[in-house]
Amino acid sequence: MKSVIELEKISYTWPGSDRAALNIDSWKLLEGERVFLYGASGSGKSTLLNLLAGILQPQQGCVRVLGQELGQMGARARDGFRARNMGFIFQQFNLLPYLTVEMNIQLALYFGRSAEKNIRHSIEELMQQLSLPVDLLNRQACQLSVGQQQRVAMVRALISHPQIIIADEPTSALDSDSRDEFIELLLKCASVNQSSVVFVSHDVTLANHFDKRININDINSAQVTDHVV
């Protein structure tokens, strides 16, 4: 089974710090693998995700995603590559409140420069899979419940059929039943697309949904600093 993400000899130090926030000798995410990544607040989970996305660049080492070394791309090329190949679901959902649901979803395709035909049909199909009424498409995001916003964020992350899905604490605002339902829906959709998943949380009770659990401290040999997020 081939790797979709490879980290080699990674070191990242925040500006103004004299100690590395992340030191990762090697780590791989395999094709179709679903990984639960956990660790205490301040252990470097979000820093690692920013490196995987190409938002941050390591001072040393190589981040390779789908065979492409991110450090060899310019910022604009990384943005396009990320939009085409990676789907993100955030703790705060990052929906633009006064845009409609449809416009929020379409933004993912715009940044990825996707010209998929019949995109409205694809959006409606995915919304139905996630038990979202199609008539929400014309409603502003700020008018939705928290649960609806979360599922819209999932539609936006999945609409471009990404090979990699990264979810950063996406269930923190939900009760236990809703958390389990959300994860099951996410993994079901990932299975249809044959997407690899990195799901980040401090709540280890969620780990049973995933193929593998990883404590970030087991792959990060750096000392934790005040700058780490």
State the greatest distance between any 2 C-alpha atoms of the chain, in Å, as a whole number. 53
pLDDT value for 112? 55
The whole-number average pLDDT for the span 67-72 is: 94
User: What pLDDT digit, counting tens, does each position of 159-194 carry?
Assistant: 888 999 999 888 877 777 778 888 988 898 899 888
Residue spans of the domains in the chain: they are: 33-57+74-219
Helix (H, G, I), strand (E, B) or coil at 28: strand
Residue 228 pLDDT greater than 60, yes or no: no
With cut-offs at 50, 70 and 90, classify the pLDDT of residue 213. very high
User: What pLDDT digit, counting tens, does each position of 1-11 carry?
Assistant: 799 999 999 99
CATH architecture group of domain 33-57+74-219:
3-Layer(aba) Sandwich (3.40)
Q: Which residue has the tokens 């919304």?
A: 127
Cβ neighbors of 184 (< 8 A, separation 6 or more) are 209
Contact 95, 151 (CB under 8 A): no
Share of the chain above pLDDT 90, in %: 48
CA distance 22 to 99: 37
pLDDT value for 100? 94
Residue 23 pLDDT greater than 50, yes or no: yes
The whole-number average pLDDT for the span 114-119 is: 63
Q: Which residue has the tokens 């396009």?
A: 80
Burial class (CB in 10 A: 0-12, 13-18, 19+), 227: middle
CA distance 92 to 173: 9
Burial class (CB in 10 A: 0-12, 13-18, 19+), 113: exposed
The whole-number average pLDDT for the span 95-99 is: 90
